A and B are shown apart, each in its own frame.
Chain A
Amino acid sequence: EAEVAQSPRYKITEKSQAVAFWCDPISGHATLYWYRQILGQGPELLVQFQDESVVDDSQLPKDRFSAERLKGVDSTLKIQPAELGDSAMYLCASSSWTDLSYGYTFGSGTRLTVV
């Protein structure tokens, strides 16, 4: 079964350091999402890509967060500098509405701890 790949699974970083997460969506999925999930809450959208273009980044803290999907395939989410409040699970998802058997598929996530 096709999967959304994310790495790393766990990341511990000191505040003020830079950190990056990587996501490889299901092959052929044009839409890619990054969500942040704070412990005990539901995921919230950070950024949505359609191919290589940003569709929605209204909730992305642009002073410290950046996201790119240069070739419209895999994507990188970066935080610089990291703050204690950034500790969360970062989830990547992809979707294809031409194939409803998939809908939205999530990766296993990256658990970030900022110390």
Chain B
Amino acid sequence: AQSVTQLGSHVSVSEGALVLLRCNYSSSVPPYLFWYVQYPNQGLQLLLKYTSAATLVKGINGFEAEFKKSETSFHLTKPSAHMSDAAEYFCVVTQGGSQGNLIFGKGTKLSVKP
């Protein structure tokens, strides 16, 4: 069975500071991993995805994540936070393929202070 653990339900950073959102996964098969962002009363927008190619994945809005198999981690980072980054972030794992279902973490709410 696959699972995702997001460490910290709420992270607060100052504008311009480093953003680090932590995610650890559990999977018995090589996983596909995603980070999604959700703004209030909106759907989910894909930030980036890992599909067994490069371990360092660059996404939209300056975010990136590194797949570390030895640590079973897929942490999301951004060098400099912007006020518009305030949202909920979900780490997601799937085994992929046409039968694959997305397993979501509980989410981390990011607040950005001016």
Contact = CB atoms under 8 A, between A and B. Distances in A.
A and B together in one complex: yes
Q: Which bracket fits the contact residues of B?
A: 20 to 34
Interface string A2-24: 00101000000000000000000
Contacts of B100: 95, 97
Given A42-B90, A42-B106, A108 B101 contact: no
Q: How would you classify the secondary structure of chain B's contact residues: helix, strand, loop or mixed?
A: loop
A78 interface: no
B102 to A, nearest CB: 6
Contact of B43 (A45, A55, A103, A109): A109
Contacts of A97: 96-98, 100
A59 to B, nearest CB: 10
Given A100-B51, A103-B46, A30 B98 contact: yes
Given A44-B104, A103-B34, A108 B43 contact: yes
A106 B44 contact: yes
Interface string B30-51: 0010101000011111100101
Interface of B: 32, 34, 36, 41-46, 49, 51, 90, 94, 96-102, 104-107
